[in-house]
Amino acid sequence: MRVLVITPPDPVVTWEDADAHLKLSGDETEKLYVEGLIAAATAHIDGPNGWLGRAIGLQTLEARFGGYGCFASVRLPYPPLVELISAKYLDAVGAEQDVALSDLDVFGSDISCTTALWPWAGCSTRREAVRVRYVAGYPEGVPAPIRVAILMMVGDMHRNRVTTQAGAQSAVPMSTKVEDLLAPFRVYA
């Protein structure tokens, strides 16, 4: 299954948050640099390419998979699932067909079909014939430990502007404190 980001999330940590954390006293000369650090730290943990294996900021994702199997349910990756937007598949001749969302049940991050068979079962042997678009992320706001971990990563990168130092043998890893804050939220495949 491949997952694409259709609409990326808004930043979950703001310049103002980082400014206070880094004690920059509103020094706007650092603003673009710090916003870049926020984006890098967030990208490191968020969404399809992130270490957490989940969506943190609200974003629209599209899961693409083959329509050849019959299965009880499909688990959409990168929880938490907020809302299904659409489900489509390519039929035997390659024409795109819509699936009525009323034909799908949602249980956490799993979707199942309310009819006897999935509408796309056996219709196409093409890779990525099925495309389910959904919103994922924390609708009530990102949990505090994740926000703190992002701020800590920003602080580490702000202080250590190079990946290695004289005499060091490797790049600076994600700190143990950051990993400890994030570990309860990590999704393992």
The CATH number covering residue 151 comes to 1.10.3230
47 and 82 share one domain: no
121 and 153 share one domain: no
Per-residue pLDDT at 168: 53
Q: 126 in helix, strand or coil?
A: coil
178 and 132 share one domain: no
Please, which residues bridge with residue 97 across strands? Answer: 89
120 and 166 share one domain: no
Q: 87 in helix, strand or coil?
A: strand
Per-residue pLDDT at 172: 41
78 and 63 share one domain: yes
**Domains identified in the chain, total number:** 2
Per-residue pLDDT at 85: 97
Per-residue pLDDT at 110: 92
Per-residue pLDDT at 122: 64
Per-residue pLDDT at 124: 59
Per-residue pLDDT at 123: 63
Please, which residues bridge with residue 105 across strands? Answer: 112
Angle subtended by helix axes 15-22 and 144-159, to nearest 10: 60
Residues of the chain scoring pLDDT < 70: 68-71, 116, 121-125, 163-173
pTM: 0.86
Per-residue pLDDT at 101: 93
Q: Which domain holds residue 40?
A: 2-55+140-185
- Cβ atoms of 13 and 38 within 8 Å: the answer is yes
Continuous H helices in the chain: 15-22, 31-45, 144-159, 176-182
Q: 108 is written with which tokens?
A: 């956490």
Domain stop point among 121, 136, 151? 136
